[in-house]
Structure 1
Amino acid sequence: MSRRHPGRGRLTVAALLTALLTLPAALLAQGPAHAADYRYWSFWQQGKGGAWVYATQGPSIARPDDGDVEGFRFAVSANSGSAEKPRGAADFDAICADTPAKDGQKRVALVVDFGTPDDAPGGEQPPKRRTACARVDSDGTTADALAAVAKPLRYNSSALLCAISGYPKQGCGEQVSGKESGGKGDKSESAKDGDGDGGPSVGLLAGVAAIVALGAAAVWQARRRRG
């Protein structure tokens, strides 16, 4: 007959109860699996070969060179990795063909894509995509170029670009619900109600249930040994 070690059952129970308390908290800390969607103007710069590259600076800081092509796209997306690029061809020579060079100034070709009706705020219709050649001082920013050809512009208190040529009339980088974003991101409205992506996942609930069952079995085994 093997010798029993007093306290071994208590140690096992204590360890499992610790896991019971800490593991669910760790799982909950992971948060929702999907990022939320936002409706906003994204800023792009044309790189080599005419490819659009998401700008690393805001339009009020970026200072393009003469001959650069820059674009803006209004859409619903979660981040720069999923943002929609400006559509259509964008060639400096074509856009600025009727805007001659001038000493002390530079020309910047701009593409303004107002997006699709699906991305528009409720009750608004996006204008057609447009291009324009802006001529600004040699040290001018992209915001200066945009202001020269696409007024009125609207910014919020954090200098986030909210509207180009008055579109949209309201809102600025607001989070949208899953219904508005076509199911591409989190259903933020459902999450507020405890449903959808904002609630606990099936995997999380299954993990918690498994730990609870394991802890109950350990308690039962410890009581059996003491009996």
Structure 2
Amino acid sequence: MVSAVLGTVLGAAPAQAADGYRYWSFWQRGEDGGSWSYATQGPSSARPGDGDMVGFRFAVSEDSGDATRPRGMADFAAVCADTPATDGTKRVAVVIDFGTATDAPDRRTPPTPRNECARVREDATAGDALASVAKPLRYNSAALLCAISGYPEAGCGDKVNASVGAHAAPKGDGGTADGGGSGPSAGLIGGLAAVVLLGAAAVWQARRRRA
């Protein structure tokens, strides 16, 4: 009886939120503004044109569909207003959003977001543009971007265990909620308590019928 109730209660318990990963996501935006688009190429292969914008956001996300966009509304004209065009080069606006304390590995306040205008050679990649304004960069052996301007100091695409009820914040702003604990969820604890009560009631009813 109790085992059957246990299966029913646990089956009805809230599902665990999917695990996420803490990493730098890469975004692109044209000179005419508009919204950020998740890049289909990595920064080491994407080649933005003169007047384009590239963005980098550090956050906890499940995947590219859940990734959090860089914050701020600055456009190319504002970021590169003091950087005149020159022959043989291109200007790329680089937006760097270090995320929130919720996203940070140690929950500390991250660096302030930055907007930089990179003037690079015409065939430069987004990674080249980033390196020209935000060193030091850190990559892993698989060419995954791990740190910008030395942030974070360690780790690269680390897995983060999501707690029950945790969900990514809206993509336009803010960070993502995540939980690092490995203890039992509130839903599971509540379910087990209900099992104990129902089991006790079943025993009491059985004794009453025998009496």
The partner residue of 1:164 within 148, 151, 154 is: 148
Could you say which residue in structure 2 is the equivalent of 1:135?
A: 119
Question: Secondary structure, in 3 states, of the residue corresponding to 1:99?
Answer: coil
3-state SS in 2 of match to 1:81: helix
Q: Distance in 2 between matches of 1:70 and 1:39?
A: 20
Q: Compare the two structures and name the one with the higher helix fraction.
A: 1
Q: Distance in 1 between matches of 2:45 and 2:161?
A: 31
Could you list the per-position Cα deviations for residues 35-92 of structure 1 after superposition, in whole angstroms to 9, with x for gaps in the alignment? 3211000000115652100000000000000000110100011011111100011211
- Aligned pair partner of 1:173 in 136, 157, 169: 157
Moved more, 119-128 or 164-173: 119-128
Larger Cα-atom Rg: 1
Count how many residue pairs are aligned between Structure 1 and Structure 2: 164
Q: Give the CA RMSD over aligned residues.
A: 2.6
C-alpha change, 1:49 and 1:142, in structure 2 (3 Å) is closer
Superposed, which structure 2 residues align to 1:174-189 within 5 Å? 174-178=158-162, 183-184=166-167
Q: What is the identity percentage for the equivalent residue pairs of Structure 1 and Structure 2?
A: 63
Task: List alignment gaps of at least 5 residues for structure 2.
Answer: 1-14, 169-177, 192-211
Amino acid at match of 2:61: S
1:42 match: 25
Deviation sequence 1:170-223 (CA, Å, 0-9, x none):
1100001225x9823897864xx8x55xx9xx9xxxxxxxxxxxxxxxxxxxxx
Is contact 1:36–1:188 with CA below 8 Å preserved after alignment?
no
SS, match of residue 85 in structure 2: coil
Superposed CA deviations along residues 146-193 of structure 1, whole A, max 9, x for unmatched, are 0000001000000000000110001100001225x9823897864xx8
Helix, strand or coil for the counterpart of 1:94? helix
Structure 1, unaligned stretches of length 5 or more? 1-31, 203-227
Amino acid at match of 1:46: R
Pair 1:75-2:59 in alignment: yes
CA drift at 1:116: 0.4
Residues 150 and 164, structure 1, Cα contact 8 Å, conserved in 2? yes
**Which residue is equivalent to 1:101?**
85
Choose between structure 1 and 2: higher strand proportion: 2
- C-alpha contact 1:37 1:184 (8 A) present in aligned 2: no
Report the residue type matching 1:167 in the other structure: Y
Task: Answer whether contact 1:108 1:135 (CA < 8 A) is retained.
Answer: yes
1:187–1:57 distance in 2 versus 1, CA, 3 Å: same
One-letter code of the match for 2:87? D
Q: Distance in 1 between matches of 2:26 and 2:165?
A: 22
Contact 1:124/1:168 (8 A) holds in 2: no
Matched residue SS, 1:143: helix
